[in-house]
A and B are shown apart, each in its own frame.
Chain A
Amino acid sequence: MFASFMINAWEAATIVAIVAGVVGFFTVLRGEAFAAHSLPNGAFAGAAGAFLIGANTIVGLGVFSLAGAGMIAGLGRRARSDVATALTIVLMLALGDLFLSRTSEYAPEIFALLFGEVLGVSTSKLGPTAVIAAVCIASVIALYRPLMLSSVTPEVAEARGINPRVMDLAFLVVVALVTTMAVPVVGSLLIFSLLIGPPAAARSFTSRPLVAMGLSVLFALVTVWVAIAVSYESNLPIGFFVGAISAFAYTVGRAWTAWQQSRGRKVAR
């Protein structure tokens, strides 16, 4: 399990989990689950397009996920954000379909982009992953206060001169960066589960933001580590274990909240 060819997988998954834990905290706080699904899922069109013109996959993913973030924010000015997101993912996927129809060679790699190939991460992929991860963490730190304020109390944030549209776009750009970083190594399905499952569970246990963020990173790390180990032993796809563990963590979190509430009610009585 810790053979030399597995080292890259452990490192890549650890980097992705840390970033997902931090960014996912805000994803859950802002209720952006749909965007967290759409950007990674739609960005594969960029990978297909990059393949078509012979460009780097990461460049294609980056361009498309950033364009998608801009489109969600732009359409969101005149429509409900869920409608804007739905229209964006539909257009991105349709473009992906168009690109795929231009070539017959790319199709088998879709499975890898969707469901991840963390066990086959090459050393050359680790460099870009680490750099983009650092950028993601740095942007969250830089945006921390205004982002937190506009997520929790939008009215107060606006009164203090924080433009909610700018914050929305800024956060979507961060999700786009996470997409670019994570999709080549873990796939779009896995990054989506990591962006919402562990943070949602973490928020059930504490209301203090920094503690929740720390817990979220911890849960994300445990999720990927357990998933890699079990996936390695059982020879089954890692995406299945990440999805299952994330759902399990969410369920435990919900049960904990419900138990706390019922206890609180009893005490109040």
Chain B
Amino acid sequence: MLAASWSTLFEPGFFSSEPVRVALIVGAITAIVSGVVGVFTVIRGQSFAGHALSDIGTAGGSAAFLVGASTLYGFVAFNVVAAGVMELIGIRKPRGRDLATGIVLGASLGLAALFLYEGTISTSTTGATVNVLFGSIFTLPPGITTVMAVLGVTAVVLIGVLYRPLLLSSVSYELAAARGVPVRLVGAGYLLALALAVSMSAVTIGAILSTALLIGPAAIALRVASRTGVAIAIAAAVGVVACWAGTLIAYDSTVWAGGNGWPVSFCIVVVIFVFYIASGVVSRFRRNRRRATTTDQPLAVKPVEAA
């Protein structure tokens, strides 16, 4: 009975398959790095920059593809430059900042169109567009794990070094500036970490999953946790679980979908969404309970509700 349900849950070959093993490892590393960086992305309201970078790098990736260099290096180089440009434009109000991000994104996608078009003519690989757009966790190039580990570790270390000033300037820019935190420098360092993390994830698992793992788990964690450190841990854990569950569902789906399985990206995104909805229920339940307990207290010590 147990064995039967075990083999229904994990279709045969799941654990012995090399692509699956690589996908599980790569997915976990990416999810952890994205979780750490993503919590700050959500706090700072820079989701658009996080998503845009996964598309912007496409221009660098396709340029590298055109000249025959490694896509990854093209991607990283272009993203770091783009992050620098976004920081140089340096608008702090979210509206203007999103606009500047959009302009950089539009120009980069224009370049990507140019490079992909040239690439299509010279080698006629229309699949390149799809690959660059979606990526695929099951078809990772060999030897990519070392490079991505370096990128991921650099991003996480950067966040670790900047942690306190970054947190302060993310929560209150004015307060941080008044306390003498070099807010521009911290912001630039954070964007660099974001560029590295997004490059790493976009190249390995594609633009969809890059954004999904950056924003989804972090948004979930910030709904249920109030301390940033706890939120980061939850975000990383949720990301890893979503990645693994999604990979498993995608692998198993080849059986019920008649050989043509569901894409991994779709499965992982659906798992993240289920978690997101669940986190909404959890946070609402907690808020209600907190409200119920606070009404029992005498009025004098009742905490002031934030407007």
In the assembled complex, the Cα of A91 lies from the Cα of B277 at a distance in Å of 13
Contacts A79-B219, A111-B129, A189-B110 given; indicate if A200 touches B263 (C-beta within 8 A). Answer: no
Contacts A115-B113, A196-B103, A237-B114 given; indicate if A87 touches B273 (C-beta within 8 A). Answer: yes
Interface of A is mostly: helix
Chain A residue at minimal CB-CB distance from B269? A94
Q: Does A55 contact B (CB under 8 A)?
A: no
Contacts A87-B216, A189-B109 given; indicate if A82 touches B208 (C-beta within 8 A). Answer: no
Q: Which residues of A213-252 have CB atoms within 8 Å of chain B's CB atoms?
A: 236-237, 239-244, 246-247, 250
Interchain CB contact under 8 A, A193 and B110: yes
Contacts A31-B96, A83-B215, A110-B129 given; indicate if A90 touches B269 (C-beta within 8 A). Answer: yes
Interchain CB contact under 8 A, B51 and A237: no
Residue of B47, B107, B219 touching A246 (CB-CB under 8 A):
B107
In the assembled complex, the Cα of A240 lies from the Cα of B111 at a distance in Å of 6
Chain A residue at minimal CB-CB distance from B214? A86
Q: Does A148 contact B (CB under 8 A)?
A: no
In the assembled complex, the Cα of A86 lies from the Cα of B208 at a distance in Å of 10
Q: Which residues of B35-75 have CB atoms within 8 Å of chain A's CB atoms?
A: 42, 45-48, 50-52
Contacts A31-B94, A239-B113 given; indicate if A87 touches B219 (C-beta within 8 A). Answer: yes
Q: Does B98 contact A (CB under 8 A)?
A: yes
Q: Does B163 contact A (CB under 8 A)?
A: no
- Pick the interface stretch among A5-13, A96-104, A177-185: A96-104
State how many residues of chain A have any CB contact under 8 Å with chain B: 50
Chain B 267-278, CB-CB to A under 8 Å as 1, else 0, gives: 001101100100
Interchain CB contact under 8 A, B102 and A192: yes
Interchain CB contact under 8 A, B208 and A111: no
Shortest distance from the beta carbon of A120 to any chain B beta carbon, whole Å: 14
Task: Specify which of A79, A86, A246 lies most central, judged by the most chain B CB atoms within 10 Å of its CB.
Answer: A86
Return chain A residues, CB-CB under 8 Å to B111.
Answer: 240, 243
Residue of A34, A101, A108, A240 touching B47 (CB-CB under 8 A):
A34
Interchain CB contact under 8 A, A82 and B269: no
Q: Does A39 contact B (CB under 8 A)?
A: no
Q: Does A85 contact B (CB under 8 A)?
A: yes
Q: Does A89 contact B (CB under 8 A)?
A: yes
State how many residues of chain B have any CB contact under 8 Å with chain A: 57
Residue of B51, B89, B117, B263 touching A97 (CB-CB under 8 A):
B263
Interchain CB contact under 8 A, B51 and A189: no
Q: Which residues of B90-113 have CB atoms within 8 Å of chain A's CB atoms?
A: 94-96, 98-99, 101-111, 113
Contacts A33-B99, A193-B106 given; indicate if A94 touches B265 (C-beta within 8 A). Answer: yes
In the assembled complex, the Cα of A31 lies from the Cα of B212 at a distance in Å of 22
In the assembled complex, the Cα of A264 lies from the Cα of B114 at a distance in Å of 41
Chain A residue at minimal CB-CB distance from B113? A239
Interchain CB contact under 8 A, A83 and B47: yes
Return chain A residues, CB-CB under 8 Å to B269.
Answer: 90-91, 94
Chain A residue at minimal CB-CB distance from B216? A87
In the assembled complex, the Cα of A83 lies from the Cα of B273 at a distance in Å of 13
Return chain A residues, CB-CB under 8 Å to B261.
Answer: 101
Interchain CB contact under 8 A, A87 and B215: yes
Interchain CB contact under 8 A, B215 and A243: no
Residue of B103, B126, B134, B280 touching A250 (CB-CB under 8 A):
B103
In the assembled complex, the Cα of A79 lies from the Cα of B220 at a distance in Å of 10
Shortest distance from the beta carbon of B205 to any chain A beta carbon, whole Å: 12
Interchain CB contact under 8 A, B110 and A243: yes
Residue of A95, A193, A236 touching B266 (CB-CB under 8 A):
A95
Shortest distance from the beta carbon of B123 to any chain A beta carbon, whole Å: 14
Q: Does A28 contact B (CB under 8 A)?
A: yes
Return chain A residues, CB-CB under 8 Å to B110.
Answer: 189, 193, 239-244, 247
Contacts A82-B48, A94-B270, A98-B266 given; indicate if A33 touches B208 (C-beta within 8 A). Answer: no
Sample of 17 A–B contacts (CB below 8 Å): A33-B102, A80-B45, A94-B263, A101-B261, A115-B113, A189-B113, A192-B105, A196-B103, A237-B113, A239-B114, A242-B106, A243-B106, A243-B107, A243-B110, A244-B107, A247-B107, A250-B103
